[in-house]
Amino acid sequence: MVWGLALVSLMAFLLAFASHSPGWMGLGICVGFVCGVAAALVFIDRHVRASSRPEHMTRGEVEALRRTVRKPDNASRQLPPSETH
């Protein structure tokens, strides 16, 4: 699809360049810009999707994360009793 959009954009610009009629030239420029922008957005979308991580974690990833979290040791983490004056 993306290569089709790029090819249509190129052909539309060639039509605009080769035509002597202002109507065909305007149509070629409009179609060329619209298809060119669409092709660029599809290329950007593909790149972002290829380099992004999924939003949710799998069950195995959640279990691995739970194993790495330490349980608080109550005896070593308590503050000493405060002295009253």
Please state the domain extents for the chain.
1-51
The DSSP-derived string for 48-84 is HHHHPPPSS--HHHHHHHHHHSPPP-HHHHPPPPPPP
Mean pLDDT of 28-54: 93
pLDDT attached to residue 33: 97
Across 37-41, 55-59, 66-70, 71-75, the highest mean pLDDT is recorded for 37-41
| Residue 76 predicted with pLDDT over 80 | no
Residue 65, amino acid: L
* pLDDT tier, 77 (very low <50, low <70, confident <90, very high otherwise): low
- Per the CB < 8 A criterion, the answer to whether 35 and 9 are in contact is yes
- Per the CB < 8 A criterion, the answer to whether 13 and 22 are in contact is no
